[in-house]
Structure 1
Amino acid sequence: MRKLQAQGVHHITLVGADRQTSIDFWEGVLGMPFVFEQPNLDNPGESHLYFDPGDGRLITIFTNEDRTPEPSRTPTDPGCVHHLAINLSQATFRQAVERLDERGITHSGVKDRGFMDSIYFTDPLGFLIELASYRFEPPVGVTHTQVLLLAHQIRVERGDYNIAPIHLADAIEQLVLRTQESLSDDRTPKRAYRG
Structure 2
Amino acid sequence: MSESDDDAPSEAEVTAEFPDSVIRTTGTDHVTLVGSNEADTVAFYRDTLGMRLVMRQPNLDDPSATHLFFDSGDGRVVTFFVSDDRDSHEGPQRPGIGAVHHLAFSLDPDEFEATKDRLREADHRFSEFDRGAFHSLYTRDHNGLVVELVVDKYEIPDDRRGEVLSTAQRLRVEAGAEFVDGDHLEAALEELGLPVEPNDLPDAAVGSAKDWRGESGPEHEGDA
1:170 lines up with 2:187 in the alignment: yes
CA–CA distance in 2 between the matches of 1:82 and 1:158? 30
1:145 lines up with 2:162 in the alignment: yes
Q: CA deviation at 1:160?
A: 1.9
List aligned pairs for 1:109-148, cutoff 5 A: 110-138=128-156, 142-148=159-165
Amino acid at match of 2:130: D
Q: What's the counterpart of residue 183 of structure 1?
A: none
CA contact (8 A) 2:104 2:150 kept: yes
Q: CA deviation at 1:2?
A: 4.6
Q: What's the counterpart of residue 7 of structure 2?
A: none
CA–CA distance in 2 between the matches of 1:169 and 1:45? 51
CA contact (8 A) 2:139 2:147 kept: yes
Give the aligned CA root-mean-square deviation in angstroms. 1.6
Runs of 4+ in 1 over 3 A off after TM superposition: none
| Paired positions, count | 175
* TM-score (norm: length of structure 2): 0.74
Q: Highest CA radius of gyration, 1 or 2?
A: 1
Higher normalized contact order (CA 8 Å, seq sep 6+, divided by chain length): 2
CA contact (8 A) 1:89 1:133 kept: yes
Q: Percent identity?
A: 37
1:59 lines up with 2:98 in the alignment: no
Unaligned runs of 5+ in 1: 178-195
Q: CA deviation at 1:145?
A: 2.4
Amino acid at match of 1:163: V
Q: CA deviation at 1:142?
A: 4.4
SS at structure 2 position matched to 1:176: coil
Unaligned runs of 5+ in 2: 1-19, 195-224
Q: CA deviation at 1:84?
A: 0.2
SS at structure 2 position matched to 1:148: helix
